[in-house]
Amino acid sequence: MTVVKGRTCPDEQKAYQDGAYRHGYAGSVAIPRVDLWIAAFLGLRRQDSAVGGVADPSSLGMSPVFAFLCSCALVVAALAANASRLGEGWAVPTFYCAIAVIFLPAAARIIHPRASRLERLALIVIVTSALFVVRVIRAPVAFIDHDEFLHWATVNDILEAGRLFLPNPLLPVSPLYPGLELITSALVNLSGLSVFAAGLIVLATARLMLMLALFLLFEKITDSARIASIACLIYMGSSTFLLFDVHYSYESLAIPMLAAVLLASESRRMEPGDAAGWPTVVATVVLILALAATHHLTSYFCTALLCGTAAMECLRQGASAMQKRRAILLASIAVIAPVAWSRIVGNPTGSYILPVLEGGIHEVAQLVSSSTSTRKLFVSDTGALAPAWQRYLTMAGVALICLGLLTGFLRSLVFNGQHRNASILWPPTRWRLWRSSLLQILVLVTLAYPVSIIFRLTRSGWEIGNRIGSLSFLGVAIVVAVAVAAFWHGTSRGWLRATALAAAATTVLIAGVISSEGPRILVPAGYEVSADSSSIEPMGISAASWTREWLGGQHFAADRINRLLLSTYGRQKVSTTLESGQDTSMAITAADLGPMERKLLIGSGVGFVMVDLRLTTGLPGVGVYFDGGAQDRNHTVPLQSSSLLKFNSEPDVDRTFDNGFMVIFDVGRLGKARQPAVPGKRAGEPVQSLERTDGDLQ
């Protein structure tokens, strides 16, 4: 049913009423106008205006102009990033404005029905490339985000040892899913590039592969390049899209592989005697196996999608026996592959995922029962409140997504039907007449989006909600795209409505970035306490590099940030509760080095302790100084310098390094009989002159 300027087309109104009488669910009274409006709003009847488009399919249209506009916006983004390092207050808002300038004009052109297929594809590639450059501008010379260090350490192990599955105390599960690290190490060995440069190439290729695969997948299941391109725009509004899913992390490669699996599984519908379709099946199987060895959660989600698709294919009327067998075969392999890989590498995911999931579910239950959130919205762990414009944009973005889902959920199901002008309510025989089983599953996946919002209201469940949200956006994108094309824009040929919808899509994009990064999207001028990327600075890197040059490979206990630097720049072994189950932070932060603290350090095999006196200047930006143990979560005031420096008074502890803010203590002799010490020399080490290098507090 078509609604134009708030009124229902008379012919369609009559046809709808006639159909209602014929099927017996309207009674003997004419349907009120409000019911017709609700039916049109929710999309209870098929609308095919979404497929339109009249441009030359081979025309690039205005894409060169938009490429130039994106390049200008990137210059502004670079200036803003540099201004942030100088402490300018206008840097973060300007950076967000540059992102909006990259996205909004191209979105308006894509939403307008007169753009050609080639132009739409070109604009998707341009916007995707420009947004990836935004990530490079934010961190142009080295990895700075927490998860990137975890996988960087695994790559270093592969390059140095020449073999897989070496233990990584920062993230023990990382070496067991080495897909990303294998590709990076191969590129490093072939090209001689640094790990950072090779990682950027891999990430850029994966990001481009993701958007091209999504465009082709959405086009395949909807038969519309317009809906496919709009869906790609909406997918960019995921909170993880701009930065998290281009961090050097296994999920950044796994999600593009998931899109490739889905595209390959839908690329050809086999019929009896169709031998040409089997190479596609083989390619799909190879991708499923590769995904199983790359990322556990994405592999499980792929399994759920393919199993759901197989179930829908078995229910779909008109599906051939060959198509059903093919879907069941792919679903079976998708089930077997991750389970088999997990058993091969030792079932690591249960102990890794279940505690996080249990904590998140427990807090969600508390939220539902008491209606009080354990996490204050828009308030950081240090108590800082996000600016008003960020709060309002974030709420507006969530509201727009919910509105798109409301108007697109049923409309997508009707759009996926095989009959024009067919109600999904009657007769029941039409319920199983859909064109794409995968599209049916993606529509149902959108039901996980509200669940992700609930998880994000809790402290322990925030990460779960963030991951669920990024995966559910595969369905959110296509459902909202159908709503935009078939309802909100409809048959309009003007630019006003397309521009308004593009502004709404831009709001969703910016809201997603804010909910993920907020004010920390850029590197600040000064050091921030335990704030991940805002805590990575030259003095800490220099201290970690010093340990590699002068101490060789040792076993360290340190705070959350310095253990990342020690493991990567210093190539040291670090103590974490994930690996040993012992929280060495209790020994570092205790007021005295008593028997329990000594036993903890000795039992963990720690030889050196690095303390960072800058931790005493504020509360942790991410909520924890160390591993997030019970004691770490109870800090309500900054750490005391007397606690960190208690090692100075211990006769069995040597002060090995001191640059004014960072101190390294040699605790290797704790619990051992003292031996006569040679001045300036440790057992087994050559005499070294350690020059104190004082650094400024940044």
Percent of the chain with pLDDT over 70: 82
Asked if pLDDT for residue 196 goes beyond 90, the answer is yes
Mean pLDDT of 422-431: 56
Residue 365's pLDDT is 75
Q: What is the pLDDT of residue 329?
A: 94
Beta carbons of 579 and 169 less than 8 angstroms apart: yes
User: Where does the pLDDT of residue 53 fall: very low under 50, low under 70, confident under 90, or very high at 90 and above?
Assistant: low
* 372, burial (CB in 10 Å: exposed 0-12, middle 13-18, buried 19+): exposed
Q: Are 250 and 179 in contact (CB under 8 A)?
A: yes
Give the Cβ contact number of residue 339 at 10 Å. 15
Confidence check: pLDDT of 683 > 60: no
Specify the 3-state DSSP secondary structure of 44: coil
How high is the pLDDT of residue 243?
92
For the segment 203-208, the average pLDDT, to the nearest whole number, is: 97
Higher pLDDT, 334 or 35: 334
- Helix ranges (H only) for 192-249 are 195-222, 225-235
- Looking at residues 327-337, what average pLDDT do you find? 96
Q: What's the confidence (pLDDT) of residue 287?
A: 96
Comparing 28 with 426, the larger pLDDT belongs to 426
Distance between first and last Cα of the chain: 62
Amino acid at 24: G
Regarding pTM above 0.95, the answer is: no
Query: Among all chains, which residue has been given the structure tokens 């341009």?
Result: 126
Predicted confidence at residue 54, as pLDDT, reads: 53
Q: Tokens 């903890």 — which residue?
A: 600
Percent share of the chain, pLDDT over 90 = 61
Distance CA 96, CA 271 (A): 50
Query: What pLDDT score does 687 carry?
Result: 35
Structure confidence at residue 689 (pLDDT): 38
Query: What integer pLDDT is reported at residue 698 of this predicted model?
Result: 34
Whether pLDDT at 12 is above 80 = no
Mean pLDDT of the 364-382 span: 69
